[in-house]
Amino acid sequence: MSPLDTGRVATVAPRPWAVWAAYAVPLCVLPSALWRLSLVFTDDAVTRWYMLLLSVLSMGLALLTLGLVHRWGQRVPHWVPRLGGRRIPARPVVRAAVTGGWLLVAVCVYFLLNQRFHLVQSGWVGIGGDEPAHPPPGWEVFRFYAPLLAWGPLVVAVATDYRRRAAMARGTTVRAAARHW
């Protein structure tokens, strides 16, 4: 019986910078989530649900990054029927985290390039023709979204460290494991 079958997982401690980076992710997402939640009390019902859902979803995804540096992120919780206590395979976790991180980087790069070069003309996009036109947001809004620029690179960095630790726990070299991811 291998250590993985008995519930004892051979783990390698995350690097200190990876732990700091994992904790930085929710802190990067928090300002925009709180700002959107503040709008819940001022906008109409349709926007209210959208802002609430987007804030909860983004914070939930940001908090999942902590699972890459903690033991609770390596096993399915015991309360989950039929799967509780099983080890979570590292490969799909790393693929999802790296893909998500690079998608965040791509969105941020697109946003920054579009702001600079006006690749797509920005104008008012409303739900109806009678919607009032709002002025484009300035620094008073951008300051809440600026920390999100670090979200993607931080997730990619933490996922890369997680991949290294998973490979070391399996006893393979990181280079050999990278070919199989």
Residue 73: inside a domain: no
Q: Which residues of 153-177 are buried (b: 16+ CB within 10 A; e: fewer)?
A: ebbbbbbbbbbbbbbebeeeeeeeb
Is residue 141 situated within a structural domain?
A: yes
Q: Give 93-118 pLDDT, tens digit per residue.
A: 999 999 999 999 999 999 889 888 88
Q: Is residue 76 part of a domain?
A: no
Is residue 165 domain-resident? yes
Determine the structural domain holding residue 150 and report its residue range.
16-68+89-123+137-180
- In this prediction, residue 175 carries a pLDDT of 61
User: Which letter, b or e, does each residue of 35-51 get, where b requires 16 or more Cβ atoms within 10 Å of its Cβ?
Assistant: bbeeeeeeeeeeeeeeb
Highest mean pLDDT among 136-145, 151-160, 164-173: 151-160
Q: What gap in Å lies between CA 160 and CA 21, rounded to an integer?
A: 12
Has residue 10 been placed in a domain? Answer: no
pLDDT greater than 60 at residue 5: no
Tally the domains of the chain.
1
Residue 80 lies in a domain: no
**CA nearest to 157, candidates 69, 57, 60, 56:** 69
